[in-house]
Structure 1
Amino acid sequence: MTARVYLRFLEQYDMLQNAIVLKYFKVLKNKESKKDFFVPIDEEVIKTFNKIKSHSALRLIYLILATSGVRYVECLSFLKDYDKDKFTVHSNYVSYNVSELRHTKNINNIYLPLFVYNQLKPVTNSYHCLRQKYHLRKCSFSLKYLRKWQYNFLIYNSVPESVADFIQGRANRSISANHYLARSQQADFWYAKVCDKLEYLFSVMQPQKTSTSSQAYLGELNSVNSVTIRGETNESRNIRKSKH
């Protein structure tokens, strides 16, 4: 962990004041980092999920990262103090407005399929404790790569890049109110289209059936839509009704 990342961590959990963090940042040199083009393939994502799913907290965090595209630190912050009354329940997914701005890193809404929403519970484990438990299971990639994988998944499923950016919290901080509302509506539309496919991937598809590319099994995943009415499956409809 670099000094900058550690300072961000301390600031995120109110262990260090923002003014002190900024003062250290002026002293620390920002070394140019090498581009990291690694993105795990679908088979790796499913195999890793099967390695960690017996640990309830890791399972939940993994699913949130893979289906929402939020960052690991943001995920832990969300699980620490989310309010279930603030969720907006849609046909087959939920959205949660956090309106949080972490300097240059934005996050507006967290989008989750219903099958992940129904597993939500507070997680108070520390950042480092959870990472250690994850790596002890000899996983082939770091949790941060689930964000890249989810972005690829959205693009392979025809989600426009601007909408995929919005879903992952990359909204422009200077965006107008009208533009923000339009982008939010677009995100609602597109996430409803892909979240059943995410549920299929993690709930139905077995490791040996996965391929090396999201494109390779889009035809199979599209069959999920055959039992969908306006983006709502029979199963998700029953789940939603049971919530009311």
Structure 2
Amino acid sequence: MLLKRFFRERVSFVSYPKSGRTWLRAMLGSYFSLKYEGDSAGTFPDVRELSDKNGLPKIKFTHDGASMQASLSYKDLRSGHRDYRKNKVVFVGRDVRDTLVSAYFQATKRVNVYEGSVSDFLRSDTYGADKILSFYQLWHSACNEPCAFLYTSYELMHEDARRELTRVLNFMGVEVDDDLVGKSVDACSFNNMKKMEKSGEGTSSAFRPADTKDEESYKARKGKVGTYTENLSEEDIDYISKRASAYGIDLYDPWNGQKSH
């Protein structure tokens, strides 16, 4: 049993901050709770703890050096990811513009690492457009280094969350129960996530609003696709578009158009 636990497969969930990974994490936790513990799917359980307890793949969640707290310039992001060669990697993406807006509110209202306007944020070497575009470019170059690689996105989960959760479970080698997939997706709807965050019931401290009266301080902030126009000027949007063109990256689907895996 000890050997089996030691040699478990390892699955790393990689994403740029504010790409929707928390939603996927919640759905996985709910599924594991229902399938292996027989518990309610609505309490945002610790997916890593459940995976360890039930002998499932060893799970790691990482921003791979791009976390806001690390405060690295885009020039300092690492190239090459050989340390993932024994890992399966699930890469979670999102529209670059929506990600940057969500990251701005995270930086200014939740983790308090930035003071300034959203326009300045976008142009920052530490938090802005070049940072996220470099992150995608570097990961695309290295996506063959893990032993297996799967891409999903916030937009794909919005399109069909059941399909994407099933894809991830199959990729992890976890038995899929369609009924429990549906229950997990329903339990982790945006409205339910927002309620859980506001109440704090069954959630970690990382999944609580900084200010319950400030909608922009919630982890589950909008739950929509394409809302960047509410916060960015035409000049800001044009700047991001020009930087994306320089990197050859599609803004809506930053994995699309890249050399396929």
TM-score above 0.5? no
TM-score normalised to structure 2 length: 0.25
TM-score normalised to structure 1 length: 0.26
Counting helix residues as a fraction of each chain, which structure ranks higher? 1
